[in-house]
Amino acid sequence: MREQLEKIKEEALKQIEASDALEKLNEIRVAYLGKKGQLTTVLKSMKDVAPEERPKVGQMVNDAREAIEAKMEETKQSLARKAREEQMKKEVIDVTLPAKKSNIGHSHPNTIALEEVERIFVGMGYEVVEGPEVEYDLYNFEKLNIPANHPAKDEQDTFYVNKDIVLRTQTSPVQARVMEQGKLPIRMIAPGRVFRSDEVDATHSPSFHQIEGLVIDKHITFADLKGTLAEFAKELFGEETKVKFRPHHFPFTEPSAEVDVTCFKCGGKGCRFCKGSGWIEILGCGMVHPHVLEMCGIDPEEYSGFAFGVGLERIALLKYEIDDMRLLYENDIRFLKQF
């Protein structure tokens, strides 16, 4: 038994020394120390050893096991160290090379302009409300005092899914939906994408964005509208900005007006940017038509209100002095990185 154990130990140690991979070490461990390994087999044959010899034989088996395990651990560490050294040689890092730059994006100019407008109106106590882009004709036209065959529909020639469903031409339907809920007073703006079948050019697109505002309360007058828009213009374009209201017509407001602001480039003196007039048109507005209030379940004898609408792209074009709206959608990184 002694000779057999010595032979097993010597063979195991030789194989361990000759190993050049961790996988081979594992095979040797299984062959000698595993459940069916040679040392384990010797232990199982202890029943055939005379009782007085068993302690000696057991000690010899343990000594052989410890010698094999110690040699195996030593070889394992040596092989792991060599593998690590080889890996380090293959994966050399030149610390003198310039670091890779992380390309961090930023907000689109439309988003920057929208966040600025929202900040201004939220600061005045307004709520930001969104609505569906695919809208019923009822909300997009009828409830805004634009019945079937009304000329205003021609001005907003748009995309119909069927005779009752349309891609919204404005965000005013959101106002109608909020008024219908009857939770008064109302102070809200409704930003979002709108659609009209316009030809694509420097100032038009079949898809663009609007921000429409609505205030409904008791004793609201045109003076409230003028004060609100004057404050908005000053916040957006500068403290020296003045506003001018020109009579206009919108079906859902009466009276209605177009709003101009003094050119923030020349201060109203006249320049190329404002085409020599000193003024720049920015939005349309007016007092909510009594019939619109009635259709939305609000008593026009008790409540009044005003509404306004501005094109988000127009704000971005003016604020950043961009002369072609198409630049906002062409995804040219050379253009967008300027913002």
| Residues 81-118 pLDDT 10s | 888 888 888 887 777 878 788 878 888 999 999 999 99
- For residue 163, the model assigns a pLDDT of 85
Residues 276 and 222 in one domain: yes
- For residue 18, the model assigns a pLDDT of 80
Is 115 contained in some domain?
A: yes
309: closest CA among 182, 148, 173, 134? Answer: 173
Q: Tokens representing 203?
A: 């100032």
pTM (predicted TM-score) = 0.66
Share of the chain above pLDDT 70, in %: 92
CATH number for the domain spanning 186: value is 3.30.930.10
Residues 182 and 140 in one domain: yes
Cα 322 off chain centre by: 25
Question: Does the pLDDT at position 288 exceed 90?
Answer: yes
The number of distinct structural domains making up the chain is: 2
Is 104 contained in some domain?
A: no
Residues 252 and 294 in one domain: yes
Residues 183 and 288 in one domain: yes
- For residue 77, the model assigns a pLDDT of 85
Residues 159 and 57 in one domain: no
Residues 117 and 80 in one domain: no
In this prediction, residue 53 has a pLDDT band, given cuts at 50, 70 and 90, of low
Question: Does the pLDDT at position 35 exceed 80?
Answer: no
Residues 223 and 115 in one domain: yes
Report the pLDDT averaged over residues 9-37: 76
Is 72 contained in some domain?
A: yes
Is 113 contained in some domain?
A: yes
Residues 299 and 265 in one domain: yes
Pairing of strands 279-288, 304-311: antiparallel
Residues 79 and 154 in one domain: no
Give residue 149's domain range: 109-336
- For residue 152, the model assigns a pLDDT of 65
Worst-scoring range by mean pLDDT, 160-164, 182-186, 230-234?
160-164
The burial of 2, by beta-carbon neighbours within 10 Å (0-12 exposed, 13-18 middle, 19 or more buried), is given as: exposed
Residues 117 and 75 in one domain: no
Residues 70 and 138 in one domain: no
